[in-house]
Chains A and B, each alone.
Chain A
């Protein structure tokens, strides 16, 4: 494996605005009066509810168990009473079921499992079971159950474990601070994950705009046989397929998974959560989230419990200086705009971002002038402008032939379009239409 990472084709360089929070140490959020834990936080099946209204719960106690293999259990963020099985606005705007817990203020532990004293002597299968039991998902944004990635089907040989510390989304610094302050947890998590996969090494990919984090990781990396790989700063460097290409030179075939080219990619925050679950016996009930944006009084990186309402998160950050135009969960390139402050922190909430009024414009989209900027920056090497035409004419068959299904929805095309055409939005729609047609066909 060469030391020089490969450069993937395309990409864009938005203003990263990370300086707002990159120097702010992670702060532990104080205990709140109440938490609303959204039930379905993972890709795959929803978990099965184990508690009912009025039940006393301890911190870390199971609230719901996995509802299948591609599903993860849910744990209580603190000790208290189940006040209600309620509904809150989900990140996509649709109301979703949640478990509301009134905190008793004691924050008393009732962990469902014990720490594993010597992980090196523990069977990989037991370590994997622990990852599942702890409810760990992809914390970079996808929310894909971690144990599923660690269970390649027979015949698929995994030879490379990559930890994703690219954090290419502008504004977000949660992973940066995690790698800087808890480098050993990340590296330990990498080593444990490697053991589960039957590997003896792992590679952490970090964009070169976080040199201090790379330095910290390198101090502890050798001890666990982990390699730290600096990566060129280019959005979307943290996209799974682009990351695998940069580090190994392998191209994940369209419609296939990293395991098809012998790779497993795990977010660094997930790795740290795996270390916590194994070594400290702590389930996934907390995460580091960047609370930032120009309108925020005191932007920072916070360790938040799952189920913390966004309203409270913004209060922690001192509130706002001016009414923002947008409230986003995640970064500005792929984050989801919210219409309510009632959304709560989930396992994949990497950022709470406020965008000021002068930073967004309500663009009217103009005709495509065929400048080709979208073609140049597309990291998947498809033709956004041409596909956009197809979608406008409702020719989804044509869009499919033009490989719209390969789109990773990174938003680089929309970002670069001088006519402000809603390319990314059109492709999301096309993908939904094409999938719906496939289902119809059976």
Chain B
């Protein structure tokens, strides 16, 4: 060896890390996924604030802060490390706010945050282990506990900051013929914060699909099934049943189909499963809307399908590449 090569610097073997392959990792992390979903939800939030004013902002803010604080409090209590930075509690809070009415009292928001974070998520072991969508657990809990508060909706009043106490019914509660699809597309209708602007929610949904954060089969089947079933009902008896467009653009359907049913933790992992899951959600929603006791059925439908998710995952296990069916009679 010449003198020149002797002076070459070489790695210090003691500092080499030994680990299993692969030695490269893709960029997405849980936090990145959560914040992208939050970003996709922001157009909807913005439209809610446009139509319901500062009251909407207040509901969203109280929900987000209570979810984050409750999660951190639980982590402290359980001596776990902090998790709020992964964005999942923020997302839960934001979605909870979108499921509430602009005039919801602050203590209902905090109670909702408690139900979502503790009852919906942490009691099962935290992120990734909850069988039901935490936000919907909270929403349904509140709906049963406080039916009055949860089914009173403020009338949207664009740019008018503050609530004037006038309430309006959700389009699904009105008689057919009283509703206008154009108002629903923009969000100029009564309802929860996230039940208003269809366009903003669809923009968010498009972002989620483009970033491959949700399985497009779920919203397609969910919305498609509701459209088909309510469409048939409308054709048979337009006096009693709303047009399918009203059904698609009203209530929590778009929020549910794009943001809630597609929750990764509580929906099937395979694409085949996503078809079944979306169809089930759509079917149950339509049945409740058309013939159930409640005017809205999205939450119940999704929760019910959440319960079926492990089963769906089990029956949709794919055959591996090169699968050969075992010959009968062998082993």
Chain A residues near B (Cβ < 8 Å): 8-9, 12, 14-15, 33, 93, 170, 241, 245, 251-254, 256, 295, 297, 311, 314-315, 318-321, 323-328, 332-341, 354-355, 359-363, 366-373, 375-376, 379-383, 385-386, 402-403, 406, 409, 411-412, 414-420, 422, 424-425, 428
Is B10 in contact with A315, judged by CB distance below 8 angstroms? yes
Residue ID in chain B nearest A379 by CB atoms = B321
Q: Mark B149-168, 1 if CB is under 8 A from A, else 0.
A: 00000000000000000000
Complex: chain A residue closest to B266, CB-CB: A370
Of the candidates B17, B33, B264, B267, which one forms a contact with A337 in the assembled complex, judged by CB atoms under 8 Å apart?
Answer: B17
| CB atoms of A326 and B17 under 8 A apart | yes
Bound together, the chains give a CA A383 to CA B269 distance in angstroms of 9
The segment from B225-233, B283-291, B312-320 found at the interface with A is: B312-320
Nearest A residue to B28 via CB reads: A418
The answer on a CB contact under 8 Å between A319 and B9 is yes
B30 at interface, CB cutoff 8 A = yes
Contacts of B20 in A (CB 8 A): 337, 422, 424-425, 428
Told that A332-B23, A382-B318, A418-B28 touch, could you supply 20 new A-B pairs with CB distance under 8 A?
Answer: A253-B323, A256-B322, A314-B8, A326-B16, A327-B11, A332-B22, A335-B23, A337-B19, A363-B25, A366-B30, A372-B269, A372-B270, A373-B28, A381-B320, A381-B321, A385-B269, A386-B317, A406-B321, A406-B322, A424-B20
Which chain B positions have C-beta within 8 A of A386?
269, 313, 317
Residue numbers in A under 8 Å from B15 (CB-CB): 323
How many chain B residues touch the partner (CB < 8 A)? Answer: 49
Q: A314-B11, A327-B16 are in contact. Are A375 and B270 (CB under 8 A)?
A: yes
Contact: B21 with A251, CB < 8 Å? Answer: no
Cβ of B17 and Cβ of A325 under 8 Å apart? yes
- From known contacts A315-B8, A411-B22, A414-B22, infer whether A381 and B318 are also in contact, taking CB-CB under 8 Å: yes
Query: With the chains together, A339 CA to B17 CA distance in Å?
Result: 7
Is the Cβ of B25 less than 8 Å from the Cβ of A420? yes
CB pair B128 A370 closer than 8 Å: yes
Q: Is B26 an interface residue (CB 8 A)?
A: yes
Contact between A337 and B16, CB atoms less than 8 A apart = yes
Given known pairs A386-B269, A415-B26, the reply for A318 and B8 (CB within 8 Å) is yes
- Complex Cα distance, B12 from A323, in Å, reads 7
Instruction: Determine whether the beta carbon of A332 is less than 8 Å from that of B13.
Output: no
Minimum Cβ distance to chain B for residue A293 (Å): 10
Which of B13, B21, B30, B129 has the most chain A CB atoms closer than 10 A to its own CB?
A: B21
Query: A369-B128, A372-B264, A381-B320 are known contacts. Are A324 and B269 too (CB-CB below 8 A)?
Result: no
Decide: A367 near B22, CB < 8 A? Known: A241-B321, A326-B17: no
> How far is A363 from B28 in the complex, measured between Cα atoms in Å?
13
Majority SS at the chain B contact face: loop
Q: How far is A177 from B128 in the complex, measured between Cα atoms in Å? A: 46
Q: Return A187 CB to nearest CB of chain B, in Å.
A: 30
A361 to B10, CA, bound (A): 22
Whether A367 pairs with B320 at a CB distance below 8 angstroms is: no
Contact A360 B23 (CB under 8 A): yes
Q: In the complex, what's the smallest C-beta–C-beta distance from A24 to chain B, in angstroms?
A: 18
List of 5 A-B pairs having minimum Cβ-Cβ separation, nearest first: A411-B22, A367-B128, A319-B8, A425-B20, A406-B320
Tell me whether B30 and A254 are in contact (CB under 8 A): no
Question: Do B269 and A370 touch across chains, with their CB atoms under 8 A apart?
Answer: yes
Measured CB to CB, the closest approach of chain B to A235, in angstroms, equals: 10
Q: Which residue of A lies closest to B81 (CB)?
A: A364
- Once the chains are docked, how many angstroms separate the CA of A368 from the CA of B137? 21
Residues on A with C-beta less than 8 A from B127 are: 366-367, 369
Chain A residue at smallest Cβ distance from B86: A366
Segment 269-319 of B: residues with Cβ below 8 Å from A: 269-271, 313, 317-319
How close is A251's CB to chain B, nearest CB, in angstroms? 4
Q: Separation in Å of the A442 CB from the closest CB of chain B?
A: 14
Give the most central of B13, B24, B324: most A CB within 10 Å.
Answer: B24
Q: Are A416 and B9 in contact (CB under 8 A)?
A: no
Contact present for B21 and A411 (CB under 8 Å): yes
Given that A93-B18, A333-B22 are known contacts, is A341 also in contact with B264, CB under 8 Å in the complex? no
Contact indicator A33/B318 (Cβ below 8 Å)? no
Across the two chains, which residue of chain A brings its CB closest to B9? A319
Q: Which residues of A contact B8 (CB under 8 A)?
A: 297, 314-315, 318-319
**A383-B269, A386-B269, A418-B28 known; A335 vs B324 contact (CB < 8 Å):** no
Chain B residues with CB under 8 A of A321: 9
Q: Given A318-B8, A369-B127, A418-B28, are A380 and B321 neighbors across the interface (CB < 8 Å)?
A: yes
Contact: A369 with B23, CB < 8 Å?
no
CB closest residue in chain B, given A324: B11
B321 touches A14 (CB 8 A): no
Contact B30 A369 (CB under 8 A): yes
User: Given A337-B17, A360-B17, A366-B30, are A253 and B11 neighbors across the interface (CB < 8 Å)?
Assistant: no
Within the complex, what minimum Cβ distance (angstroms) separates A51 from chain B? 26
Of residues A318, A340, A403, which shows the largest number of chain B Cβ atoms within 10 Å of its Cβ? A403
Question: Does B32 count as interface, using CB distance less than 8 angstroms?
Answer: yes
**Chain A nearest CB, measured from B330 CB (Å):** 13
B1 interface contact, C-beta 8 A:
yes
Contacts of B213 in A (CB 8 A): 371
CB distance from A351 to the nearest CB of B (A): 12
The answer to whether A371 touches B16 (Cβ under 8 A) is no
Q: Contacts of A382 on B, CB cut-off 8 Å?
A: 318, 320
Pairwise interchain contact B21-A334, C-beta atoms closer than 8 A: yes
